[in-house]
Amino acid sequence: MQITVPTAAPNTSTWRKTIAGLTTAKGGAAVNGTWLQADDLVEVPAGTLVLAVDKVTTGWDYAYSTGERIPVQDATVAVYLASPGGLTQLWSRHYKSARSAFGATTLKKLSSLLEQHPCPTGAVTVVAEARRLNKKSMPCRWCHAQLPAGCGHLVGHGKHLAAEHWQICPVQRVLTGVCELCNTTIAPLSPASVVVIREGEGRRSLRHLPEVRCTEQVPESAEEYTNRIAEQCRTDAEARARRVEKEWKAAERKAQRYADRKAAVEAAELAEQERIAGLAEIGHSVVNLNDKGIGGGLRAALDEVTVDLSDGTTTIRWVIRTYSAGSGWTGEDYDPDDGQESEHTSKAAAQVVYWALRFEPARRERTSGGSVCDECGHGGARFSRRDSSGISGIVCARCNSCADFELSFA
């Protein structure tokens, strides 16, 4: 049957043991039996007597012979019977001095209980061990790493007392080596670790991590991984080379098509010039394609002119002309601006010239008095405006004549 060994109160010195018989020795050594650990789940024969001793330090004294400081303890001794319903307490007694806990009174009571409940035959087996924290720094008996106080688990008793990591010792991750379980070299995608096998005096073993499941299916080895990556790199390089070659060929075809179109346009223009050479112009019609202001009271227009020739055919030309946006006289010679223009036989060439004409703000004269203009930085500002970004400001009379998109206060 399974029982849970009686628990121990905090800050107590305890020990547990089955009672198989009594000897003539002194103290707890007078009891023969199997050592138990508090809170362990153990398998014992029915009718087994379990002895529990709890010592509590109540003060300190000094040894008469040596003068050393020694603890003063009281003790509680209890006896339990293992029955199908669990542990039943048969007897318990508290002693003010732990030295008298195993005197004649206790031994006589244990002898009487053994007569009533003889020790049954059968082995005592630990089913589930409870953790016993180490109270001082000790080395792990398996991996020999130092365990700080309260971080390990105690095993054994007396001079055989040792410490170990609770349940398993820490593992060490590794990237190279051969797995002991599947005999496969470790690959980067199949992580492994060095584990401590708790056998004999303890040994270290290199194994794949449990999630790899190398015993169910052999993972990829380091050699296979290296070959696969090399093959993948070679395939990627070939694909990249093919892609670059394809892009170069596409660029060459595009450049060739552009060159062919340009040559065809030039040939068509040359043929058209040769065809109309010597023919008289008898009329024309104009269609305006674009028109924009370029500042200084001037505008630029791009017109498509269809010319009627003397042989009954037509030809097309593109004219860029600049003209005054208002009325009056322009130029230093006071001649009226009757249209400055340039003629082109190619629409593309005409558009390039037209796009090159940019707006240039008119030169502003300085003003004085009043606040500083946010646009030109001179005085005389008294008009509230907003510039092209929506920022409010105050401008002078000359800057106030500009449109919003011409102003910038930032």
Q: Which H helix or E strand runs over 274?
A: helix 222-276
| Cα separations in angstroms, 361 against 213, 297, 364, 410 | 78, 10, 9, 17
- Is the predicted pLDDT of residue 333 greater than 50, yes or no? no
Strands (E), 158-230: 162-164, 172-174, 192-197, 203-208
Q: Which two tokens stand for residue 8?
A: 């121990």
Confidence (pLDDT) at 337: 47
CB 374 within 8 A of CB 353: no
192 within 8 A of 179, measured Cβ to Cβ? yes
Q: Which two tokens stand for residue 43?
A: 């398998």
Does the structure show a pLDDT above 70 at 338? no
Lowest mean pLDDT among 51-55, 79-83, 333-337, 399-403: 333-337
Residue 160's pLDDT is: 85
Which of 101, 98, 106 minimizes the C-alpha distance to 72? 98
Q: Which of 40-54, 171-185, 243-257, 315-329 has the lowest mean pLDDT?
A: 315-329
Residue 319 per-residue DSSP state: E
Determine the Cα–Cα distance for residues 257 and 263; give it in Å rounded to an integer.
10
Decide: 55 and 74 in contact? Cβ < 8 Å. Answer: yes
**Partner residues linked to 89 by β-bridges:** 80
pLDDT of residue 297: 76
Share of the chain above pLDDT 70, in %: 94
Confidence of residue 365 (pLDDT cuts 50, 70, 90): low
pLDDT digits (tens, 9 = 90+) for 9-19: 888 888 899 99
Question: What is the pTM (predicted TM-score) of this model?
Answer: 0.44
Give residue 50's pLDDT band: very low, low, confident or very high (50, 70, 90).
very high
The first and second tokens of residue 116, run together, are 């009533």
Buried b (16+ CB within 10 A) or exposed e, 50-71: bbbbbbbeeeeeeeeeeeeeee
Average pLDDT, the chain: 87
Task: Identify the CA nearest to 110 among candidates 9, 14, 39, 23.
Answer: 23
Tens digit of each residue's pLDDT (9 = 90 or more) over 112-128:
999 999 999 889 898 88
A 10 A CB-CB count for 136 gives: 10
Q: Is the pLDDT of residue 91 over 70?
A: yes
> Is pLDDT at 366 greater than 60 in this prediction?
no
Quick one: which H or E segment has residue 229?
Answer: helix 222-276
pLDDT band at 361 (very low <50, low <70, confident <90, very high): low
Quick one: which of 166, 106, 124 has its CA closest to 36?
Answer: 124
Closest CA to 107 of 170, 115, 59: 115
The 10s digit of each residue's pLDDT in 170-205 is 988 888 899 999 999 998 888 899 899 888 888 889
Q: Tell me the mean pLDDT in the region 129-148.
A: 90
